Structure 1
Amino acid sequence: MEVTGRVERIYDTQNVTSSFKKREFVLEYADNPQYPEFIKMEFVQDKCGLLDDVKEGQEVTVGINLRGRKYEKDGETRFFNTINAWKIDKGESTQRDTDIQNFEERKAPVSTGEDSDDLPF
């Protein structure tokens, strides 16, 4: 699954145990721009470094997996979810596509010679 949005916040890497680390970030997801959602996600282990080149405010597309766990304590069952990110596209290709589209819109139309009535002479 992928989700696209603007990076709101990037947190430092946390060493949860000696063998497990995670790095959380918040993505502003504006499927409906009037009511944006702020979704906290995390990279784990060797994927934490994928956020090193990402800046807050940057548009990105994130590959995610939804994770859910069941936790039992003192006879009570609880459930919790995490959004585990595994890739991030910083949008270079999206910006390139936008630049090409803007260039195409600025180009003058090419005359095929069929509409000679449009000529000023």
Structure 2
Amino acid sequence: MELTGTVKKLFDIQTFPSGFQKREMILLTQEQYPQPISIEFLSDKISLLDNVSEGENIKVSINIRGREWTTPQGDVKYFNSITAWKIEKDASTSFNEPTQVAPIQQGQATATTDTDVFGNSDEDDLPF
């Protein structure tokens, strides 16, 4: 599976008492409602982040992992993690570079209209 987006945040390497190491990155997806996705780089895959900077557009090959945990009270909980195994740099513009917006042509509808299709009077534009 692959995710494409802009590197929003790179974290420092974490080393655990067992010697295990990981490094996390936040990838902001490029879609109608961009999502900040936390991606882990484990052990030898940490070096994939050596040539990556915040603001760069990249494509990350990932695996989704799940695990089950039973609490001391006997409740079963499930956790997911996203781990990366490959990065490709995207040649398109980076996060910090400005983009040019196409001008609205005469007769073309604008995004702001007075009609409320759903009958809601509040101005909340969140998708949920």
Q: TM-score, normalised by structure 2?
A: 0.67
Q: Give me the whole-angstrom Cα distance separating, in 2, the residues matched to 1:16 and 1:46.
A: 15
Which residue does 1:21 correspond to in 2?
Answer: 21
Instruction: Report the CA distance between 1:71 and its aligned residue.
Output: 0.4
- Give the 3-state SS of the residue equivalent to 1:12 in structure 2: coil
Q: Give me the whole-angstrom Cα distance separating, in 2, the residues matched to 1:9 and 1:62.
A: 14
Which residue does 1:71 correspond to in 2?
Answer: 69
Q: Check if 1:31 corresponds to 2:63.
A: no
Kindly provide the amino acid, as one letter, of the partner of residue 89 in structure 1. E
TM-superposition CA deviations, 1:69-95 (whole Å, max 9, x none): 00012111111000011111122xx35
Instruction: Report the CA distance between 1:49 and its aligned residue.
Output: 1.2
- CA-atom RMSD in angstroms: 1.1
Hey, which bits of structure 1, 4+ residues long, moved more than 4 A? Answer: none
Instruction: Report the CA distance between 1:36 and its aligned residue.
Output: 1.0
Number of residue pairs matched by the alignment: 91
Instruction: Report the CA distance between 1:9 and its aligned residue.
Output: 0.2
TM-superposition CA deviations, 1:21-43 (whole Å, max 9, x none): 110000000221xx211000010
Which residue does 2:49 correspond to in 1?
Answer: 51
Which residue does 2:2 correspond to in 1?
Answer: 2
Kindly provide the amino acid, as one letter, of the partner of residue 62 in structure 1. V
For structure 2, the 5+ residue unaligned runs are 93-128
Structure with the largest fraction of strand: 1
Which residue does 1:42 correspond to in 2?
Answer: 40
Q: TM-score, normalised by structure 1?
A: 0.71
Percent identity between matched residues is 45
Q: Give me the whole-angstrom Cα distance separating, in 1, the residues matched to 2:39 and 2:17.
A: 19
Q: Give me the whole-angstrom Cα distance separating, in 2, the residues matched to 1:17 and 1:81.
A: 22
Kindly provide the amino acid, as one letter, of the partner of residue 51 in structure 2. D
User: Does the C-alpha gap of structure 1 residues 17 and 90 become closer, same or farther in structure 2, counting only changes over 3 Å?
Assistant: farther
